[in-house]
Amino acid sequence: MEAAELQAVNLGATVISNSFGGNEDNTIAATDAMYFNHPGVGIFVSSGDSGFGAEYPASSQYVTAVGGTTLKKDTSTALDGKSLGSWLSKLLGGAGSGCSGFISKPSWQKDTGCAKRTVADVSAVR
């Protein structure tokens, strides 16, 4: 599937959207830049469907990993308009997130919760 990235870039794509992923392993860091490092091309990848646990290529430092969430009203508390405490966040279909085991943390990620690349970069509320 990674070869499709190269083909899209070679054909002039400036934005690529992917909805595939799989388990990380110790081979991904060696080929990550070859398939996904294309300055000027926005590459967006689904963060996965497995809940916590980074998937590749969402864990690539060269892509924007995109997840999703939905909010559900917690009927056991009153909504006072001042706090989000009255809302519960529920992952949409177990959207993926987590810490890469193999990809280095990009310089722009400043979180301290993961020693390596953190997934996801963007999450939309449905």
The answer to pTM > 0.75 is: yes
- Over residues 35-81, the pLDDT tens digits come to 999 999 999 999 877 677 889 999 999 999 998 776 666 666 655 55
- Over residues 9-24, the pLDDT tens digits come to 999 999 999 988 888 9
Start-to-end CA span in the chain (Å)? 29
Is the pLDDT at 125 greater than 60? The verdict is yes
What letter represents residue 19's amino acid? S
Whether residue 23 is contained in a domain is answered as yes
Whether residue 50 is contained in a domain is answered as yes
- What is the reported pLDDT for 79? 55
Whether residue 55 is contained in a domain is answered as yes
User: Taking the CB of residue 49, how many other CB atoms lie within 10 A of it?
Assistant: 15
Whether residue 87 is contained in a domain is answered as no
- Distance between CA atoms of residues 20 and 7, nearest Å: 16
Determine the structural domain holding residue 105 and report its residue range.
2-67+94-125
Whether residue 35 is contained in a domain is answered as yes
- What is the reported pLDDT for 123? 81
Whether residue 73 is contained in a domain is answered as no
Burial (0-12, 13-18, 19+ Cβ within 10 Å), 117: buried
Number of domain units in the chain? 1
Whether residue 88 is contained in a domain is answered as no
